[in-house]
């Protein structure tokens, strides 16, 4: 038994040494099983593909398995992909709708691979250019494992879902939005959301120099920060994280409900306040109490701060 055990370790060590030697000599290949059939894969090369001969579009349907998505302003309608050749997306326009999709494995297929890739962090990038002064009627984006960036766009209807990646919007106006993020941060800079929902399971939400109008936001695990932002109706629900607001304006009623975290508001234009905590302290300007605190709470423009386990502070 001992001799067999030692022989097994010897064979394992020799195998690992040969694997390393093969990699150094550029001889190692990826071995995968496609529908239980073994095959040797060639390493995917990095390609740069520009799709410039595409027609006008007012709708975008983009779905990726791992590439980053960028929607920017450009001189003409165009799509560019930079990334691995085996992940190159399909691109077409149908009835003024741009459809961009990365290939996925079939439902009945089984894939198993063994490989080493020095460019494992290079997930690729898809850049969609929209001409200046063009509004998008619909943007439907689904990201499997990449970031999503949207710059300088006017969007009537937005549906965005991300499994694992950050979301960043800059200088954008969205009439109606539905944003669902499983794992990633959401950052808005100079963004106006007319209505809709924002849902995050794990990640921070940052809003600067913008407006949330009748937007319902939910954050399960992360911090939320508003700076120089107008809150026009709506609400925020948090499970585990801190809420911070600086130089915000409240129009109508806006509520922040927190389960485990502190709520802090500073230098803001608010008509009235209502502070409530179950296990913590309320501080409203110079007043401090463990009981509820209010100031001008019958006004229309009121900010309601509540937390179960944490402090509320307004200064």
Contact status, residue 81 vs residue 49, Cβ threshold 8 Å: yes
How far is Cα 30 from Cα 39, in angstroms, rounded to an integer?
A: 8
How far is Cα 140 from Cα 99, in angstroms, rounded to an integer?
A: 10
Whether 199 and 300 map to the same domain: the answer is yes
Contact status, residue 149 vs residue 129, Cβ threshold 8 Å: no
Q: To the nearest 5 percent, what fractions of the chain are helix, strand and coil?
A: 10, 60, 30
**Domain count of the fold of the chain:** 2
Whether 285 and 206 map to the same domain: the answer is yes
Contact status, residue 229 vs residue 193, Cβ threshold 8 Å: no
DSSP 184-224: S-EEEEEEEE-SEEEEEEES-EEEES-EEEEEEEEEEES-E
Q: Angle 87-23-32 (CA atoms, 0-180°, nearest 5)?
A: 45
Half-sphere exposure of 145 (CA within 13 A, CB side): 10
134 found inside a domain? yes
Whether 194 and 299 map to the same domain: the answer is yes
Whether 190 and 150 map to the same domain: the answer is no
71 found inside a domain? yes
Q: Which domain holds residue 54?
A: 48-105+122-155
Whether 219 and 132 map to the same domain: the answer is no
Whether 146 and 196 map to the same domain: the answer is no
35 found inside a domain? no
3 found inside a domain? no
Whether 226 and 279 map to the same domain: the answer is yes
Whether 148 and 191 map to the same domain: the answer is no
Instruction: Kindly tell me the number of DSSP H helices and DSSP E strands found in the chain.
Output: 1, 29
Q: How does pLDDT run along the chain (315 residues), one tens digit per residue?
A: 556 656 667 677 776 676 666 655 555 555 544 555 555 555 568 889 998 888 999 999 999 999 999 999 999 999 999 998 888 999 999 999 999 998 764 434 444 444 444 444 467 999 999 999 999 999 999 999 899 999 999 999 999 999 999 999 999 999 999 999 999 999 999 999 999 999 999 999 999 999 999 999 999 999 999 999 999 999 999 999 999 999 999 999 999 999 999 999 999 999 999 999 999 999 999 999 999 999 998 999 999 999 999 999 999
Whether 314 and 198 map to the same domain: the answer is yes
79 found inside a domain? yes
Whether 189 and 133 map to the same domain: the answer is no
Contact status, residue 77 vs residue 54, Cβ threshold 8 Å: yes
Listed residue (301, 232, 307, 304) closest to 273, CA to CA? 304
304 found inside a domain? yes
Whether 101 and 223 map to the same domain: the answer is no
Cα torsion 104, 109, 110, 116: sign: negative
Provide the whole-model pTM.
Answer: 0.82
Contacts of 25-32 with C-beta under 8 Å, sequence gap 24+, read 28/115, 28/116, 29/115, 30/113, 30/114, 30/115, 31/113, 31/114, 31/115, 32/111, 32/112, 32/113, 32/114, 32/115
How far is Cα 115 from Cα 94, in angstroms, rounded to an integer?
A: 38
86 found inside a domain? yes
Whether 136 and 255 map to the same domain: the answer is no
Q: What is the pLDDT of residue 107?
A: 38
Q: What is the pLDDT of residue 37?
A: 57
Name residue, tokens 């950050």: 166
241 found inside a domain? yes
Q: Give the domain CATH number at 92.
A: 2.160.20.120
């Amino acid at each position: 038994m001992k001799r067999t055990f030692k022989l097994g370790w010897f064979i394992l060590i020799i195998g690992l040494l040969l694997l390393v030697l093969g990699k150094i000599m550029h001889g190692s290949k990826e071995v995968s099983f496609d529908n239980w059939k073994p095959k040797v894969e060639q390493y995917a090369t990095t390609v740069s593909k520009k799709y410039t001969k595409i027609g006008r579009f007012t709708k975008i349907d983009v779905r990726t398995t791992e590439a980053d998505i960028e929607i920017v302003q450009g001189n003409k309608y165009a799509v560019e992909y930079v990334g691995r050749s085996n992940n190159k997306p399909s691109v077409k326009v149908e009835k003024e709708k741009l459809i961009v999709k990365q290939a996925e494995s079939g439902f009945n297929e089984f894939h198993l691979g063994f490989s080493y890739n020095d460019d494992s962090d290079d997930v690729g990038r898809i850049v969609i250019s929209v001409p200046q002064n063009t509004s998008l009627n619909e943007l439907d984006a689904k990201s499997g494992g990449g970031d999503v960036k949207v710059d300088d766009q006017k969007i009537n209807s937005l549906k965005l879902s991300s499994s694992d990646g950050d979301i960043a919007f800059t200088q954008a106006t969205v009439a109606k939005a539905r944003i669902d993020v499983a794992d990633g941060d959401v950052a808005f800079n100079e963004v106006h959301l007319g209505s809709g929902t924002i849902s995050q399971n794990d990640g921070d939400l940052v809003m600067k120099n913008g407006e949330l109008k009748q937007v319902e936001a939910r954050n399960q695990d992360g911090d939320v920060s508003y700076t120089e932002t107008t809150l026009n109706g709506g609400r925020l629900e948090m499970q585990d994280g801190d809420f911070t607001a600086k130089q915000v304006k409240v129009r109508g009623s806006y509520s922040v409900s927190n389960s485990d975290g502190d709520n802090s508001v500073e230098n803001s234009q608010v008509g009235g306040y209502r502070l409530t905590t179950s296990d913590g302290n309320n501080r409203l300007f110079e007043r401090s109490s463990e009981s509820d605190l209010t100031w001008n709470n019958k006004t229309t423009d009121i900010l309601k701060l509540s937390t179960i386990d944490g402090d509320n502070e307004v200064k």
